[in-house]
């Protein structure tokens, strides 16, 4: 466990919405990390929810901005909470994952282009993060996404500060 400076008592909180978009061949749309300072990994496309915006509105907006895709949000799948330290910053990230489908590709290019690739979630060239959501998608892709909303918590909170 990492220790934090004495003034870092509360985590930085972020709220995100992401899309699980399967194709007919067992692949899902993934976003490959674009941060060259980190080891490569994949996660599901989407991003931050802005104040006054619903999670569904956010994920639709993010897919237009990042991939020029208009999507239909079909149902909520997962609620993922991640408490961790990254680059010395204590973070608490809450992510809502939605099952979605692309219904149109826009003629205009994305305004926030990302490295999107289609892969089977069980065979990505690099890790698919977070691992608990990756395992759930593999299971649900095989069983037709029939389960109710699943809640996952990855608790990597830093060690307590000394008294």
Cα 72 from Cα 83, distance rounded (Å): 30
Whether residue 161 is predicted with pLDDT greater than 50 in this model: the reply is no
Q: What is the pLDDT of residue 141?
A: 97
CA 122 to chain centre: 16
Residue 2: pLDDT band with limits 50, 70, 90: low
What is the reported pLDDT for 36? Answer: 63
Identify the burial level of 148 via C-beta atoms within 10 angstroms of its C-beta, where 0-12 means exposed, 13-18 middle and 19 or more buried.
Answer: exposed
pLDDT exceeds cutoff 80 at 9: no
134-159 pLDDT, tens digit each: 999 999 999 999 999 999 999 998 87
Give me the pLDDT at residue 163, please.
Answer: 38
φ and ψ at 51, to 5 degrees?
-55, 130
16 and 91 Cβ atoms separated by less than 8 Å: no
Report whether pLDDT(28) > 80.
yes
pTM (two decimals): 0.89
Residue ranges and CATH numbers for the domains of the chain are 12-105+112-155 (3.90.79.10)
pLDDT of residue 113: 85
- Compute CA distances 139 → 120, 134, 135, 143, 152, whole Å: 12, 9, 6, 6, 15
- Would the CA dihedral through 151, 154, 155, 158 be positive or negative? negative
Model confidence at 96: pLDDT above 70: yes
pLDDT tens digits, one per residue of 32-90: 986 666 678 999 999 999 999 999 999 999 999 999 999 999 999 999 999 988 888 89
Q: What is the pLDDT of residue 116?
A: 93
pLDDT of residue 162: 36
């Amino acid at each position: 466990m990492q220790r934090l400076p004495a003034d870092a008592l509360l985590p930085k909180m972020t709220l995100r919405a992401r899309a699980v978009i399967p194709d007919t061949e067992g692949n899902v749309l993934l976003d490959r990390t674009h941060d060259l300072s980190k080891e490569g990994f994949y996660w599901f496309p989407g991003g931050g929810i802005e104040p006054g915006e619903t999670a569904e509105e956010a994920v639709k907006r993010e897919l237009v901005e990042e991939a020029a895709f208009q999507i239909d949000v079909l149902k909520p799948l997962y609620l993922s909470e991640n408490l961790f330290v990254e680059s010395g910053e204590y973070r608490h990230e809450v992510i809502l994952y939605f099952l979605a489908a692309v219904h149109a590709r826009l003629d205009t290019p994305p305004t926030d282009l990302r490295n999107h690739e289609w892969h089977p979630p069980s065979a990505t060239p690099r890790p698919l993060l977070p691992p608990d959501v990756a395992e759930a998608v593999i299971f649900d892709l095989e069983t037709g996404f029939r389960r109710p909303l699943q809640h996952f918590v990855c608790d990597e909170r830093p060690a307590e500060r000394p008294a």
